[in-house]
C-alpha cells in the first residue's frame, strides 16, 4: 500500500511537471506568434514606406523631366527670338510648331517672352505668331 501510494504521488508529480512543461511550451509558442505578428507588421510598414518613398522619387523625377523640357523649350524659343524672329517678321522663316504651340498654350509664358523681347523684337514676334 505504501509503495502504491508513493507511486501515485510520483505519478502525480510527473503529471504536474508535464502539465507545467506543456503550459510553458504553449506560452512560448504564443510569444513566438506575437513576435511573428510584430515582424509581419514591421515588414508591411517597411514595404509601405518604401513604396511611398519610390512614389515620391518618381514624382520628383517627373517634375525634373517636365522642368527640363520646359527649360529646353524656353531656351529654344529664346534662341529663335534672337536669331529667327527678325527673319520671321519679314516672312523668311516660320515659327517652329513646337514653339508656336508652347506660346499659344501658355499665355503667362507668352507674356513673359513678349516682355523679355521688348520693343521692336516683341512686335516682330507678335507678327510671326499672328501669321501662323
Segment 43-98, tens digit of pLDDT: 988 899 989 999 999 999 998 888 887 777 777 777 776 676 666 555 555 666 77
The cell for 81 is 527670338
Can you tell me the distance from the alpha carbon of 8 to that of 27, in angstroms, rounded to the nearest whole number? 28
Which among 73, 64, 85 is positioned nearest to 109, based on CA atoms?
73
Give 128's pLDDT tier (boundaries 50, 70, 90): low
Amino acid at each position: 500500500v505504501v509503495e502504491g501510494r508513493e507511486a501515485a504521488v510520483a505519478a502525480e508529480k510527473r503529471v504536474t511537471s508535464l502539465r507545467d512543461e506543456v503550459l510553458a511550451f504553449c506560452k512560448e509558442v504564443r510569444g513566438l506568434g506575437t513576435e511573428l505578428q510584430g515582424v509581419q507588421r514591421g515588414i508591411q510598414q517597411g514595404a509601405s514606406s518604401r513604396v511611398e518613398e519610390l512614389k515620391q522619387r518618381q514624382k520628383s523625377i517627373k517634375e525634373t523631366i517636365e522642368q527640363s523640357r520646359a527649360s529646353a523649350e524656353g531656351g529654344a524659343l529664346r534662341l529663335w527670338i534672337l536669331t529667327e524672329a527678325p527673319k520671321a517678321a519679314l516672312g523668311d522663316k516660320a515659327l517652329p510648331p513646337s514653339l508656336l504651340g508652347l506660346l499659344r498654350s501658355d499665355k503667362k509664358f507668352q507674356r513673359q517672352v513678349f516682355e523679355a523681347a521688348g520693343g521692336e523684337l516683341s512686335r516682330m514676334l507678335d507678327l510671326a505668331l499672328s501669321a501662323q
